[in-house]
Amino acid sequence: MSQYTTIVTETRGRVGWVTLHRPEALNALGSTLVAELADAVVAFDRDDAIGAIVITGSERAFAAGADIKEMAGRSVRDMSVDSPFAALEEVSRVRTPLVAAVAGYALGGGCELAMMCDIVLAADTAVFGQPEIDLGVIPGIGGTQRLARAIGYYKAAEMVLTGRRMPADEAERAGLVSRVVPAADLLAEAGEVADRIASRSLPVVYAAKQALRASQETTTAEGLRLERTLFASLFALDDQTEGMAAFVEKRKPQFRHR
């Protein structure tokens, strides 16, 4: 897929940018947008010239959730076996670090998309929420699991059971976002963070993300075993030799991503 209609993609240096672009529907995650988003993120992930991916929306909305108008008439089978949202799982599985730059609404699937990312930067205008309960459903792509891990059971339970929205400053205190910045600075900050990641050795960054992800998905003992194995394996890389030599020689490392 090269011609996208609901997202805009761009490469800046070693960073892939994906901007959700359905302004008429506050970037609601319809099946076309989900397919295009997954296609773009997976394509950047497969590209060795890309070291980090930024996902962002508009000033008004990161994404206002799944497209309710499209979802309204669907059946149990549509939402399970043939779910168009299955592609979003691919986004959560990529090796490349994902930076979410969130302004405005991040509701339902929009909040869940942000939580699939590794770093969530929020504009001071950002509002997070899982309002599915108001629609007669529950979150279905991570909103009960990732949210509870991110902000703790009790805050997550209040959001999921009542649909309460959480503003950016509270989301930062709760641990859902790493940093809140003025809305006008959001994209520049996201670009800086992504550039910083992308300037590091790609295989080392992959290993760091893999180990971090294990902390959310496995036991501590299994995670520690994986971390130790990955750590030792990095001593086979030229970039480990270079990184440590550069420190000793008091110069900047020149990573070659191998």
Which of 67, 172, 189, 239 touches ligand DAK by CB under 6 A? Answer: 67
For residue 163, give both structure tokens.
């649909």
For the record, the structure tokens of 156 come out as 């997550």
Binds ligand DAK (CB under 6 A): choice among 16, 108, 191, 203: 108
Determine if 147 is a binding residue for ligand DAK (CB under 6 A): no
Q: Which is nearer to ligand DAK, 132 or 189 (CB)?
A: 132
Q: Is 135 in the site for ligand DAK (CB under 6 A)?
A: yes
Distance in angstroms (rounded) separating the CA atoms of residues 230 and 184? 39
What secondary structure does DSSP assign to 230-256, as a single string?
HHHHGGGSHHHHHHHHHHHTTS-----
Contacts of 243 (CB under 8 A, 6+ apart): 201, 204, 253, 255
How far lies 166's CA from each of 73, 160, 210, in Å?
29, 11, 29
Q: Does residue 109 carry a catalytic annotation?
A: yes
96 within 8 A of 118, measured Cβ to Cβ:
no
Cα–Cα distance measured from residue 257 to residue 198, given in angstroms and rounded to the nearest whole number: 10
Which helix (H) or strand (E) is 227 found in, with range? helix 220-233
**Closest distance between ligand DAK and the C-beta of residue 214, in Å?**
24
- Min dist CB 75 to ligand DAK, Å, is 12
> How far is residue 86's CA from residue 97's CA, in Å, rounded to a whole number?
20
DSSP H or E segment with residue 186:
helix 186-198
Residue range at the interface with ligand DAK (CB under 6 A); choices 5-13, 77-85, 154-162, 242-250? 77-85
Q: Please report whether residue 119 would count as binding ligand DAK according to CB under 6 A.
A: no
Check if 66 is active-site.
yes
Query: Any contact of residue 208 with ligand DAK (CB under 6 A)?
Result: no
Residues 25-64 that bind ligand DAK (CB under 6 A): 25-26, 28, 64
| Residue of 28, 51, 129, 132 with catalytic role | 132
Residue nearest to ligand DAK (CB): 140
Q: Name the catalytic one among 30, 51, 104, 109.
A: 109
Interaction between residue 116 and ligand DAK (CB under 6 A): no
Smallest separation, CB 7 to ligand DAK (Å): 16
Active site residue 59: no
Size of the site for ligand DAK (CB under 6 A): 21
- Is residue 181 a contact partner of residue 122, using CB atoms and an 8 Å limit? yes
Phi and psi (nearest 5°) for 95? -80, -30
132 catalytically annotated:
yes
Check 30, 35, 104, 112 and give the catalytic one: 112
137/244 with CB nearer ligand DAK = 137
Contact footprint for ligand DAK (CB under 6 A): 25-26, 28, 64-69, 79, 83, 85, 105, 107-109, 131-132, 135, 140-141
Would you please indicate which residues are annotated as catalytic (active-site) residues? 66, 109, 112, 132
